[in-house]
C-alpha cells in the first residue's frame, strides 16, 4: 500500500516536472526571442514570407493559447508538421528513434560488463597496482570528450585497421549485419563514456560497503570471501549505482547528439542537431521535449528501482 503510494507520488512529481519542462521549452523558443518568424527566416525574410510563416505557426494568437494547443498536440501524439520538409513530424521521428533505441540498447549491453568488472577488480585489489592502473585509465578516459574517444576509435578501426565503416549510414533496407557494423563504433564510444562514470562510483561504493559493519559481520560469521562479496557487498553497493545508471541514460540522450554526428549515424541525436541548424521550430520543440521526457523517465525508473531494491526506502 505504502509502496504504491510512494511510487504513485514519484510518478506524479515526474509528470509535473515534464509539464514545467514543456512550458520552459515553449517559453525559451517562442516567447523569449521576440519575433519568432523573422528569427527563423533570418535575412532572406520578405513581408510576404513572414506573414505566411506567422499564419502557419499561428503567431498572431496569444502565447498561452499557442502553448496549450501545442501541449495538447504533444499529449495526443500529434507533433505537428516540420517547416522545412512539410512532412508530419511523427514520420520523421519514427525511423530516427528506432535507430537510436537500437544503438542505445547495444551500448547498454556493452556498458554493464565494462562498468562491473573493473570496479570489482579495483575494490577487491584496493590500493594495489591493478587498482591504481585502472584508476589512471578511468581518469584519462573520463577526461576525454566523447567526440575525441569516437575520433580515436575511428582512427584505430577505420584508418589504421580497416575493419569497420567510417560512416554509419543505415536505412530501412539495411540488413542486420550492416546495422551491426554501422553501430559498433558508436555503441562502443557510448559504452566507454558511460562505464567510466559508473566504474568510479561503483568502486567507491564497493569499498565503502566492504568497510561496513555488516560486511565485517558477514565475514565474522564464517562466510567465504566470495559469498561475502556477492551476497552482502555487491547488492548493497549496486543500489546507489542505480542513480549513476539513470544519469548515464540521461547522458546517452546528450551523448548520441555528438556521437551520431561523428559517425553520421541517422538517429535521434543527429536529427536534433539538424533541426537546430535548419531552425525548424516545431521539430526542435518535439525533439527537445522527447529528450527531456526520456531523461525524466530514466530518473523515475531509477527511483522506483531504488525503492524496490532498498527495503529501507520503503519505510520512509
Question: Of residues 71, 242, 273, 301, which one binds other proteins by CB under 8 A?
Answer: 273
Instruction: Give 260: exposed, middle or buried? Use CB within 10 Å, 0-12, 13-18, 19+.
Output: buried
Binding mask 228-257 toward other proteins (x if CB under 8 A, else -) reads: ---xx--xx--x----------xx-xx--x
Q: Rounded to whole angstroms, how far apart are CA atoms 241 and 197?
A: 10
For 297-305, which contacts have Cβ atoms below 8 Å and span 24 or more sequence positions?
297/14, 298/246, 298/249, 298/250, 299/14, 299/246, 299/250, 300/10, 300/11, 300/14, 301/246, 302/242, 302/243, 302/245, 302/246, 302/249, 303/10, 303/246, 304/7, 304/10, 305/242
Residues of span 182-201 touching other proteins by CB under 8 A: none
Per CB under 8 A, 225 contacts other proteins: yes
Residues of span 2-31 touching other proteins by CB under 8 A: 5, 16-18, 20-21, 24-25, 28-29
Buried b (16+ CB within 10 A) or exposed e, 210-244: beeeebeebeeeeeeeeebbeebbbebbbbbbbeb
CB-wise, 17 or 174, nearer to other proteins? 17
End-to-end CA distance of the chain: 13
Per CB under 8 A, 102 contacts other proteins: no
Per CB under 8 A, 277 contacts other proteins: yes
Question: Of residues 10, 125, 181, 261, which one binds other proteins by CB under 8 A?
Answer: 261
CB-wise, 111 or 146, nearer to other proteins? 146
List Cβ neighbours of 33 (8 Å cut-off, separation of 6 or more). 39
CB-wise, 175 or 225, nearer to other proteins? 225
Q: Rounded to whole angstroms, how far apart are CA atoms 190 and 187?
A: 5
Per CB under 8 A, 258 contacts other proteins: yes
Residues of span 59-88 touching other proteins by CB under 8 A: none
Shortest distance (Å) from residue 172 CB to other proteins: 26
Shortest distance (Å) from residue 184 CB to other proteins: 18
Residues of span 115-174 touching other proteins by CB under 8 A: 126, 139-140, 142-148, 151-152, 154-155, 158-159, 166
Grid cell, residue 40, equals 527563423
Of the listed pieces 79-87, 112-120, 180-188, 308-316, which binds other proteins according to CB under 8 A? 308-316
Angle between helices 281-309 and 63-75 (to 10 degrees): 60
Shortest distance (Å) from residue 175 CB to other proteins: 25
Residues of span 36-55 touching other proteins by CB under 8 A: 39, 42
Total residues binding other proteins (CB under 8 A): 77
Shortest distance (Å) from residue 312 CB to other proteins: 5
Q: Rounded to whole angstroms, how far apart are CA atoms 272 and 288?
A: 8
CB-wise, 181 or 227, nearer to other proteins? 227
Amino acid at each position: 500500500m505504502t509502496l504504491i503510494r510512494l511510487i504513485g507520488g514519484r510518478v506524479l512529481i515526474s509528470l509535473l516536472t515534464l509539464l514545467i519542462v514543456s512550458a520552459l521549452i515553449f517559453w525559451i523558443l517562442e516567447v523569449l526571442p521576440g519575433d519568432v518568424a523573422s528569427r527563423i527566416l533570418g535575412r532572406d525574410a520578405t513581408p510576404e514570407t513572414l506573414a505566411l510563416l506567422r499564419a502557419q505557426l499561428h503567431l498572431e494568437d496569444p502565447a498561452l493559447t499557442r502553448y496549450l494547443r501545442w501541449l495538447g498536440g504533444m499529449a495526443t501524439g500529434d507533433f505537428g508538421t516540420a517547416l522545412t520538409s512539410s512532412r508530419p513530424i511523427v514520420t520523421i521521428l519514427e525511423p530516427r528513434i528506432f535507430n537510436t533505441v537500437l544503438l542505445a540498447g547495444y551500448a547498454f549491453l556493452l556498458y554493464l560488463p565494462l562498468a562491473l568488472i573493473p570496479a570489482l577488480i579495483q575494490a577487491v585489489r584496493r590500493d594495489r597496482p591493478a587498482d591504481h592502473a585502472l584508476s589512471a585509465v578511468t581518469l584519462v578516459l573520463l577526461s576525454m570528450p566523447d567526440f575525441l574517444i569516437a575520433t580515436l576509435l575511428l582512427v584505430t578501426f577505420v584508418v589504421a585497421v580497416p575493419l569497420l565503416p567510417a560512416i554509419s549510414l543505415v536505412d530501412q533496407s539495411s540488413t542486420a549485419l550492416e546495422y551491426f557494423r554501422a553501430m559498433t563504433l558508436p555503441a562502443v564510444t557510448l559504452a566507454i563514456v558511460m562505464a567510466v562514470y559508473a566504474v568510479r562510483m561503483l568502486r567507491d561504493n564497493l569499498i565503502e560497503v566492504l568497510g561496513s559493519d555488516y560486511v565485517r559481520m558477514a565475514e565474522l560469521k564464517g562466510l567465504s570471501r566470495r559469498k561475502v562479496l556477492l551476497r552482502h557487498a555487491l547488492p548493497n553497493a549496486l543500489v546507489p549505482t542505480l542513480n549513476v545508471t539513470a544519469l548515464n541514460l540521461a547522458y546517452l540522450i546528450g551523448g548520441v547528439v555528438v556521437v551520431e554526428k561523428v559517425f553520421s549515424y541517422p538517429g535521434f541525436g543527429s536529427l536534433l542537431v539538424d533541426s537546430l541548424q535548419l531552425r525548424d521550430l516545431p521539430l526542435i520543440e518535439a525533439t527537445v521535449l522527447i529528450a527531456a521526457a526520456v531523461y525524466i523517465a530514466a530518473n523515475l525508473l531509477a527511483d522506483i528501482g531504488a525503492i524496490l531494491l532498498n527495503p529501507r526506502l520503503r519505510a520512509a
